[in-house]
């Protein structure tokens, strides 16, 4: 039985070209980039070459690229950095009686790296507004506008949702933020390699990226910070990353991410055609098999091409996941797993789906190696599972 991996939104297999680039970096120079000797200079050059290449691919300037340990660190750095910077400015210009902690706006469908960071800000006395999406998982600009306060310092909104794939109106909301002198952060982890990105043309001040979602290594990411934007660093030590992120750099990981970004951007057009073919084959097959017993979750058109979230109404999520796993199909619910049992997705709850849809949702996410034939095979295996479950009842 062929194993079929359709959980690329969780992580992706590393491409051989990326592995080779990393091995070359590890074998060529093991020097500390902060050292002044030849090995250190070679390691520093590798980092700068990677930074230049990534900046070129993403429409940014090299000095706007900060290397991190991944998307979660990038999200936390942007949120805490912007909030604390605003707080320090407020302390300088306001008296004790009128001084108040700044206000942050985010949405109820963000990745937990953003949500938990904002929840921690609340514990520290900051005010946070969580804007709800519509039924398709899209956060509307008018809802964000209604949440703006005089002390709002940051809006954080993902570019494309990691569970249902719905694309967010970043252009409109970013312009809204800047019209009110508010900084804009977007978690673009799932969007990288899936939609065209020209960061210098987007109204965003921070953008987060991760290598392992684009067939690169785990443990490395990027925070884009627009030139001139002030924020507080929260990892202190050495002067790495122009004093913005202390700690000896992960040279081979950075080289690997640069290789992954280059491949993802160069092959994006062809890949989008392939991903759409796989997604449409799976969705069409499920509709033909289950008819009105399968429902699409998320926006039907304004969505990332590699994510398909559906509710198969006759089979509970946990049952479907376990059966698919036993039949060699790797997918997920997109929700958290605690103590061996699934929690209902906070994204789908925020979309106010029915309880039946909440408890039967499955996320398929596609990438390298997936084919139309695999999608058709997955439909056949789901048919077997559905028949088995129906016969029990």
The catalytic residue positions are 337
Looking at 10-157, list the stretches that DSSP marks H as alpha helix, in order from N- to C-terminal side. Answer: 16-28, 38-58, 71-93, 112-123, 141-147
Cβ–Cβ under 8 Å, residues 168 and 111: no
Residue 268's Cβ-count burial label (10 Å; 0-12, 13-18, 19+) is middle
What SS3 class is residue 193? coil
Separation of CA 336 from chain center: 15
What SS3 class is residue 391? helix
Q: How far apart are CA 346 and CA 376, in angstroms?
A: 30
* Other CB atoms within 10 Å distance of the CB of residue 232: 15
Cβ–Cβ under 8 Å, residues 130 and 315: no
- The pair of structure tokens assigned to 38 is 């030849």
Q: How far apart are CA 283 and CA 190, in angstroms?
A: 20
Residue 344's Cβ-count burial label (10 Å; 0-12, 13-18, 19+) is middle
Q: How far apart are CA 320 and CA 82, in angstroms?
A: 42
Q: How far apart are CA 253 and CA 241, in angstroms?
A: 15
Cβ–Cβ under 8 Å, residues 160 and 167: yes
Q: Which residues contact 27 (CB under 8 A, 6 or more apart)?
A: none
């Amino acid at each position: 039985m062929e194993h079929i991996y359709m959980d690329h939104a969780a992580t992706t297999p590393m491409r051989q070209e990326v592995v080779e680039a990393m091995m070359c970096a590890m074998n060529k120079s093991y020097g500390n980039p902060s050292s002044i000797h030849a090995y250190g200079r070679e390691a520093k050059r590798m980092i700068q070459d990677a930074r230049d290449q990534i900046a070129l691919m993403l429409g940014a300037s090299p000095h706007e690229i900060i290397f991190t340990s991944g998307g979660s660190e990038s999200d936390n750095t942007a949120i805490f950095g912007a909030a604390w910077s605003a707080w320090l400015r407020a302390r300088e210009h306001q008296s004790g009686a009128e001084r108040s902690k700044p206000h942050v706006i985010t949405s109820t469908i963000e990745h937990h790296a953003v949500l938990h960071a904002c929840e921690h800000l609340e514990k520290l006395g900051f005010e946070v507004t969580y804007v709800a999406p519509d039924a398709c998982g899209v956060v509307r600009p008018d809802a964000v506008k209604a949440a703006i306060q005089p002390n709002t310092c940051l809006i954080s909104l993902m570019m494309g949702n990691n569970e249902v794939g719905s694309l967010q109106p970043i252009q409109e909301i970013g312009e809204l933020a800047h019209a009110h002198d508010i900084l804009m952060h977007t978690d673009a982890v799932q969007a990288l390699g899936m939609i065209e990105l020209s960061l210098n043309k987007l109204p965003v001040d921070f953008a987060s990226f991760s290598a392992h979602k684009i067939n690169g290594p785990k443990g490395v990411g990027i925070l884009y910070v627009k030139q001139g934007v002030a924020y507080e660093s929260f990892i202190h030590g050495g002067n790495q990353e122009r004093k913005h992120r202390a700690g000896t750099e992960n040279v081979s990981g950075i080289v690997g991410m640069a290789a992954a970004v280059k491949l993802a951007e160069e092959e994006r057009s062809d890949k989008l055609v392939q991903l759409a073919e796989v997604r449409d084959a799976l969705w069409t097959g499920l509709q033909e098999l289950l008819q009105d017993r399968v429902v699409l979750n998320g926006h039907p058109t304004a969505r990332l091409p590699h994510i398909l979230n559906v509710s198969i109404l006759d089979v509970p999520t946990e049952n479907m996941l376990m059966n698919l796993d036993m039949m060699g199909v790797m997918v997920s619910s997109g929700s958290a797993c605690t103590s061996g049992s699934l929690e209902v997705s906070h994204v789908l709850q925020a979309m106010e789906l029915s309880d039946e849809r909440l408890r039967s949702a499955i996320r398929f996410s596609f990438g390298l190696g997936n084919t139309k034939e695999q999608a058709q095979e997955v439909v056949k295996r789901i048919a077997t599972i559905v028949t088995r479950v129906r016969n029990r009842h």
